[in-house]
Amino acid sequence: MEKQDLRSLHLDEMTALLKELGQPAFRAKQLFSWIHEKQVREISQMHNLGKNLLEQLEQHCTITSMRLERKQVSSDGTEKFLFQLDDGNYIECVLMRYRGDMSKQRNTLCISSQVGCAMGCTFCATGQGGFVRNLTTGEILSQVYEVNHLLQEEGDSLPVGNVVFMGMGEPLHNLNNVRKTISLLNDPQGQQIGIRRMTVSTCGVVPKMHELADEKLDIVLAVSLHAPNDEQRSSVMPVNNSWPLAKLMEACRYYQKQTKNRITFEYALIAGFNDQPEHVQQLKHLLKNLDCHLNIIPVNPVANTAQFSRPDKKQVAAFVKALQQAGLKASVREEKGTDIDGACGQLRGKMLKK
């Protein structure tokens, strides 16, 4: 029998497991707290569970482990971690520590939901490598827990408090595990990360967006738009052939109707491709009557994508200003950590080439 990963389990699943092992129910809460609050890495560390139970857990269970293969620190302070999973695959996550006012201090972690990605966006390093497999709930969650351990070891008293699913992979293609990760991170007996402090970014998997909308999960939804018309969007994002802009916008409007939440659109600005005045007008038309914010991200250069060049600072500022004049809410999201292969998927890409 395959061992069960404790990091992938909810309280009710732990309760069922302990019942099977003939253990009293109160042990489940203790176990949950060790795993999801204290984030232990070894079964033997849970010293108040009793010798008998620890032996049973060692026999039937495991705790996801991943090895930090490499850490890179950018000149802007962004840190990028490359982890190796038990089966040898690599995943990346990116930590951004916001300082300044005490009230605004936070550690935000950008995490991966898959090894690789099947969506094939042409500007994306993860997309270039194709799809390998979905991450388990324990593997998604472990990125947060492992980074928390690293923060603690460094004496940073602030654990990860904001989580964005903008690392490798398409989260809505692994929705069950992503959903479970969100609820475990949100659990009052776990990390207690507020639902509104979690963002899920999608390239536009429309049926799953409808599913999310119906669940009324209060997360922040980010949609990778990147082009204001079907012809251009299809040329860089194959997903647009399955669900073109009309369907995507319908799903966004439905999500907003159900949740009342503002939607974030990601727009990678590519010089000479999607940064012209006509594109501002098309965006204005597309996003009419939707409560949304546009994040303009100067495209991050990725290997084999010489055709995607980054507009200079002045061009970016002019584009944002034109959007604002057209009545849209927009700001520049300076791509962090460009000097450390900021776009997720790039570090793993390099590792695989070696």
Binding footprint of ligand SF4 on the chain (CB under 6 A): 117, 119-121, 124, 126-127, 169-170, 203, 224
Residue 146 touching ligand SAH (CB under 6 A): no
Residue 264 touching ligand SAH (CB under 6 A): no
Q: How far is CA 290 from CA 101, 150, 302, in A?
A: 32, 40, 32
SS3 284: helix
The binder of 17, among ligand SF4, ligand SAH, none, by C-beta within 5 to 8 A per type, is: none
Residue 166 touching ligand SAH (CB under 6 A): yes
Kindly tell me which residue out of 6, 40, 299, 330 binds ligand SAH, with binding defined by CB under 6 A: 299
Residue 96 touching ligand SAH (CB under 6 A): no
The binder of 43, among ligand SAH, ligand SF4, none, by C-beta within 5 to 8 A per type, is: none
Angle subtended at Cα 328 by Cα 240 and Cα 320, rounded to the nearest 5 degrees = 85
Residue 46 vs 209, nearer CB to ligand SAH: 209
The binder of 266, among ligand SF4, ligand SAH, none, by C-beta within 5 to 8 A per type, is: ligand SAH
| Residue carrying structure tokens 């738009």 | 225
The binder of 297, among ligand SF4, ligand SAH, none, by C-beta within 5 to 8 A per type, is: ligand SAH
CB of 13 to ligand SAH, least distance (A): 28
Among candidate residues 285, 212, 219, 287, the one with its CA nearest the CA of residue 254:
212
Largest CA distance in the chain: 70
CB of 163 to ligand SAH, least distance (A): 13
CB of 119 to ligand SF4, least distance (A): 4
129-130-133-137 Cα dihedral, nearest 10 degrees:
70
CA distance 291 to 256: 8
- Catalytic residue numbers read 92, 344
- The number of residues in the chain equals 354
Are residues 249 and 286 in contact, defined by beta-carbon separation less than 8 angstroms?
yes
CB of 94 to ligand SAH, least distance (A): 10
Letters for 265-284 (x = contact with ligand SAH by CB under 6 A, - = none) are: -x-x----------------
**Helix 277-286 vs helix 313-325: crossing angle, to nearest 10:** 40
CA distance 164 to 222: 9
Q: Contact positions toward ligand SAH, by CB under 6 A?
A: 121, 123-124, 166, 170, 201-203, 224, 266, 268, 297, 299-300, 302, 335, 343
